[in-house]
Amino acid sequence: SETRPLTAVRRFPPDFLWGAATAAYQIEGAAAEDGRTPSIWDTFSHTPGKVFQGHNGDVAVDHYHRFREDVRLMGELGLNAYRFSVSWSRVQPTGRGPAVQKGLDFYRRLVDELLAAGIEPALTLYHWDLPQELEDAGGWPERATAERFAAYAGLVADALGDRVTRWTTLNEPWCSAFLGYGSGVHAPGRTDPVAALRAAHHLNLGHGLAVRALRAALPAGAKLAVSLNLHEVRPLTASAADREAARRIDTVGNGVWLGPMLEGGYPEELFADTAHLTDWAFVRDGDTETAGQPLDWLGVNYYTPTVVSRVAEGEEKPQDDGHGNSAHSPWPGADDVAFHQADGARTAMGWPVDPAGLHDLLTRLSARYPGLPLVVSENGAAYEDVVGPDGSVHDPERAAYVHAHLEAVHRAVADGAAVTGYFLWSLLDNFEWAYGYAKRFGAVHVDYGTLARTPKSSARWYARVARSGELCAPGAEG
């Protein structure tokens, strides 16, 4: 028989995960049902001025009541995996004590529906929605929150461990720490660089404690991970100053997680860069060992690269532009760093389209952590949907974006990177955090008046790729 080179037809490995991802607060709604209490995102979105036009997740896309229809849509998309998160305050309303059965039952029904449809559930324990009661007790800057998180992880594992194999502790702890407590553009909206660094450490600790709790509660064979938004950092020029700026952002953006979780400790440069802010006395003996529990895979979320330069002394810093140059910086220890957006195609978020960044990130990670399978746990793009007179939605830009990024993933695999899956962000249009419902990332369009779901043309193209395991160009249907 004929052997075809991998690159000619762009065929992906046979057991590749073809998925889509969501997060609880962004899709579920049912904010006060069945015992659920407010999380920091309920509080934040109901605080005037925090979210675009005062949007909130009270109803979101009502996935809590429509999950059966949504699982059917996943089938239409040809998915063999689905990544979702559990709302902590739905299963453990106060963040302490026993679980609420009704909350757990919702996830049990969802998982059963997925398994019946032949779709592998990939469960994330924490996608930014801390129970408000725990924030009132100090939130992630406090050590106790890490311990609470591990207890919660154990509760969910006891309830769902017989049917869920793939577990993720945290989604993008960088956002929780530095957007939540540093720049304040995410809940709980605090703007204190020291609180942000303390939060980062307690997220690392919480991750490690949760991995231990999961290992104790789950059957052997469970596959545990964390999902990080790793910054593909590039210096604006080759100057020593810009390369130093890139080094700093790599340290406080990537090393702050990869160090303790995968390399045995924080990078020394992190302590040096932030020495004027804190002496890190909140790090106790044994903490980095706890954070470094062995993992079975690493989730990588990628949207666009991070381009930086150094602002020389006496030079103006760029205006607050929502792209890193915020009034309150989410980058402690990097006050003289400016952020840039490359020229060329951009998504509706203003983020440059740069698939080479994903290839470079995956190949570098795989070389650095041999034997650790990588999964692209989020990648996708916002564009403005145009709904046709017949109700159809044609989104060729999204298909082109995903096609280019899948090509980059394929190239990374051909170059030796151990990438075992891809999750499109997102299954459905949903609550895009501080942007409310103004930005649409879905493969499936949601009419926010009727909550009717309509697969976009990109969804039909993605289904063809997922079913065949072969990357075809978006054609008529894309």
Establish whether 303 is an annotated binding residue: yes
147 is catalytic: no
Position with the least CB separation from ligand GBH: 324
CB atoms within 10 A of CB 265: 14
Using DSSP's 3-state secondary structure scheme, residue 54 falls into helix
Distance, CA of 15 to CA of 69 (rounded, Å): 26
Q: Which of 135, 172, 232, 397 is catalytic?
A: 172
Tell me: does residue 229 bind ligand GBH (CB under 6 A).
yes
Nearest to 299 by CA among 357, 361, 248, 214: 361
The nearer residue to ligand GBH, 132 or 329, going by C-beta atoms, is 329
The answer to whether residue 232 forms part of the interface with ligand GBH (CB under 6 A) is no
Is 250 among the residues that bind ligand GBH (CB under 6 A)?
no
Q: Please report how close the Cβ of residue 382 comes to ligand GBH at its closest, in angstroms.
A: 7
Concatenated DSSP letters of 129-153: --BHHHHHTT-TTSHHHHHHHHHHH
Helix (H) and strand (E) counts in the chain: 17, 13
Tell whether 171 is in a known binding site.
yes
Q: Applying CB under 6 A, does 84 fall inside the site for ligand GBH?
A: no
Q: What is the Cα 209 distance to its own chain's centre?
A: 20
Amino acid symbol at 443:
A
Whether the CA torsion 469, 472, 477, 478 is positive or negative: it is positive
Q: Which stretch binds ligand GBH (CB under 6 A): 171-179, 205-213, 232-240, 465-473?
A: 171-179
Residue 41, marked binder: no
* First and final C-alpha spacing in the chain: 33
Residue with the two structure tokens 């008046």: 449
Region label for 368, one of left (φ > 0), alpha (ψ between -120 and 50) or beta (otherwise) = alpha
- List the one residue from 182, 330, 352, 442 that touches ligand GBH (CB under 6 A): 330
82 is in an annotated binding site: no
- Contacting ligand GBH (CB under 6 A), which of 40, 153, 175, 459? 175
Which member of 378, 384, 397, 407 is catalytic?
378
Beta bridge partners of 171: 227
Determine the Cα–Cα distance for residues 471 and 409; give it in Å rounded to an integer. Answer: 11
C-alpha to C-alpha distance for 62 and 64, rounded to whole angstroms: 5
Least separation in angstroms between residue 433's CB and ligand GBH is 6
Query: Is residue 378 at the binding interface for ligand GBH, with CB under 6 A as the rule?
Result: yes
Using CB under 6 A as the binding rule, whether residue 425 contacts ligand GBH is answered as: yes
Least Cα distance to 82 among 164, 162, 173, 170 occurs for 164
**Contact code string over 299-328 relative to ligand GBH, x by CB under 6 A:** --x-x-------------------xx----
Does residue number 135 form part of the binding site for ligand GBH (CB under 6 A)? Answer: no
Regarding 463 and contact with ligand GBH (CB under 6 A), the answer is no
Nearer to ligand GBH, 288 or 301 (CB): 301
* 378: annotated active-site residue: yes
Residues annotated as part of the active site? 172, 378
| Binding site feature residues for substrate | 26, 127, 171, 303, 425, 432-433
Residue ranges in contact with ligand GBH by CB under 6 A: 23, 171-172, 175, 183, 229, 301, 303, 323-324, 330, 378, 425, 432, 441
